[in-house]
Amino acid sequence: MSLCLSFNAFTVHSPKSQTHKTRFSSLFINQIQVKPAPFTSKSIPFNVERFKLVKALATKPVQTAVSASFRNKNPKDINVLVVGSTGYIGKFVVKELINRGFNVIAIARERSGIRGKNSKEDTLSDLNGANVCFSDVTNLDILENSVKNLGFPIDVVVSCLASRTGGVKDSWKIDYEATKNSLVAGKNFGASHFVLLSAICVQKPLLEFQRAKLKFEAELMEEAEGDDGFTYSIVRPTAFFKSLGGQVDLVKDGKPYVMFGDGKLCACKPISEQDLASFIADCVLKEDKINQILPIGGPGKALTPLEQGEMLFKLVGKEPKFLKVPIGIMDFAIGILDFLVKIFPSMEDAAEFGKIGRYYAAESMLILDPETGEYSAEKTPSYGTDTLEEFFARVLREGMAGQELGEQSIF
């Protein structure tokens, strides 16, 4: 049984006992043969037929009317379902949507946060102003029942789901399966637009979480291609501020800034959580973002690790001191882990974590130019006003409270 709460009203709504029927349920047929998707993961047994969406031609006029009508409504009358609402970016997205006046339904786990440290009360406080619905995005039946018990249709789904660890099984469970559950449940109860928080690094998919994200992206686009009344916006941000803040305290304490190679192997245009949340909220109503893949970075020039380190030392008023680590060390370690996985399959996540670290040490979080095969700072769009230098200065004053990497940390 699901439980949906509205914290700002201090009320508890019990699930309705009667079955909630909608005209949109006819859009879904569970048993149908389909062509397999291009990406697969043998690690995750998966019932494809259970999740396949089909289009019923007779209902297309209804869906088109829903799509048009929600964009003509006032924000207070638009029901936005947010999954991944307690995540690092998700919390900011929920707050931004509330500030813009939308009726926000935040799906959350009963225990959220790093290693489940946050209680229901913590979640209600963090998501004040939203209708908080405690459910399980990894279980389609539970999620659908939770959405049904809301008692009203959904207009838009915003997914901020992301694997907590980047491990092989967790990537497919969250970045693909749980995100697909959100699409199925949302569309089954009226959603005609889906905003997906993806990642710019899926352009060069060498990691499991990237393959999982790309598989869902492809199916989301396929769904829109076959249904004129359904749209999507895929947001692919560059690096987040918090992912670059791990060495602030080390530099502050006089230790060297660690970087791979000469510190110029890669670059990024980092974006703040608030600016990214604002961009995602733009995607709910702005028609120029409909059916688009939207790479996005923060303001200013692209920064290499060397430039980030120099910026930190300048802020603390110390002479730059760098520890340069040969990238070959990571290649050697990954080779050993890959060998050990053949003997000890349980080590597959350790090997994957090594590959993740290697990827971010050498690959830029910028648009990959298909013509040149090179990353392009010039072609990577900028958005927002928050700068990395301002973020570093704030962390130096206040620390990284609320910015912890937790289960996502590699080193």
Q: Read off the pLDDT of residues 120-142 as tens digits, 9 standing for 90 and up.
A: 888 888 899 999 999 999 999 99
Retrieve residue 339's tokens.
């060998």
User: Which carries the bigger pLDDT value, residue 405 or residue 316?
Assistant: 316
| Pairing mode of beta strands 79-83, 103-108 | parallel
284 has a pLDDT exceeding 50? yes
Spatial separation of the C-alpha atoms in residues 236 and 373, rounded to whole Å: 18
Closest CA to 214 of 296, 272, 293: 293
In a domain, 397, yes or no: no
In a domain, 252, yes or no: no
In a domain, 60, yes or no: no
- Asked whether 164 and 137 are in contact (CB, 8 A), the reply is no
322 pLDDT band, cuts 50/70/90, is very high
Q: In Å, how far are 33, 110, 222, 386 from 119, measured between CA atoms? A: 42, 7, 38, 31
Highest mean pLDDT among 44-53, 66-75, 118-127, 334-343: 334-343
> Average of pLDDT values for 383-405?
86
In a domain, 305, yes or no: no
CATH of the domain at 129: 3.40.50.720
401 pLDDT band, cuts 50/70/90, is low
Dihedral, CA of residue 169, residue 173, residue 177 and residue 182, to nearest 10: -160
329 pLDDT band, cuts 50/70/90, is very high
26 has a pLDDT exceeding 60? no
**pLDDT score at 114:** 59
Helices 88-99 & 273-285 angle (0-180, nearest 10)? 50
**pLDDT score at 411:** 39
Closest CA to 1 of 146, 111, 121: 146
In a domain, 14, yes or no: no
In a domain, 325, yes or no: no
- Asked whether 94 and 82 are in contact (CB, 8 A), the reply is yes
Closest CA to 274 of 94, 74, 395: 94
Classify 373 in phi/psi space as left (phi over 0), alpha (psi -120 to 50) or beta. left
58 has a pLDDT exceeding 80? no
102 has a pLDDT exceeding 90? yes
Residues in the chain: 411
Domain range for 218 is 72-238+273-296
7 pLDDT band, cuts 50/70/90, is very low
399 pLDDT band, cuts 50/70/90, is confident
Task: Collapse the DSSP code of 101 into the 3-class scheme (helix H, G, I; strand E, B; otherwise coil) and give the result.
Answer: coil
% residues pLDDT > 90 (the chain): 71
What is the total count of domains within the chain? 1
4 pLDDT band, cuts 50/70/90, is low
Spatial separation of the C-alpha atoms in residues 91 and 273, rounded to whole Å: 9
pLDDT digits (tens, 9 = 90+) for 192-243: 999 999 999 999 999 999 999 999 999 999 999 999 899 999 999 999 998 8
- Asked whether 237 and 196 are in contact (CB, 8 A), the reply is no
User: Which carries the bigger pLDDT value, residue 274 or residue 411?
Assistant: 274
pLDDT digits (tens, 9 = 90+) for 144-194: 999 999 999 999 999 999 998 899 999 999 999 999 999 999 999 999 999
Spatial separation of the C-alpha atoms in residues 149 and 1, rounded to whole Å: 9
Q: Which amino acid appears at position 7 of this protein? A: F
Spatial separation of the C-alpha atoms in residues 172 and 40, rounded to whole Å: 9
In a domain, 253, yes or no: no
Stated pTM of the model? 0.81
**What string of DSSP letters covers 21-87?**
--TTGGG--S----PPPS---TTS---HHHH-----GGGHHHHHHHHHHHHTS-GGG-EEEEESTTS
DSSP 8-state code for residue 174 = I
98 pLDDT band, cuts 50/70/90, is very high
**pLDDT score at 125:** 87
In a domain, 149, yes or no: yes
Retrieve residue 24's tokens.
């949109």
**pLDDT score at 121:** 84
**pLDDT score at 122:** 84
DSSP 8-state code for residue 347 = G
336 pLDDT band, cuts 50/70/90, is very high
pLDDT digits (tens, 9 = 90+) for 339-386: 999 999 999 999 999 999 999 999 999 999 988 889 999 999 999 999
User: Which carries the bigger pLDDT value, residue 123 or residue 400?
Assistant: 123
- Asked whether 383 and 271 are in contact (CB, 8 A), the reply is yes
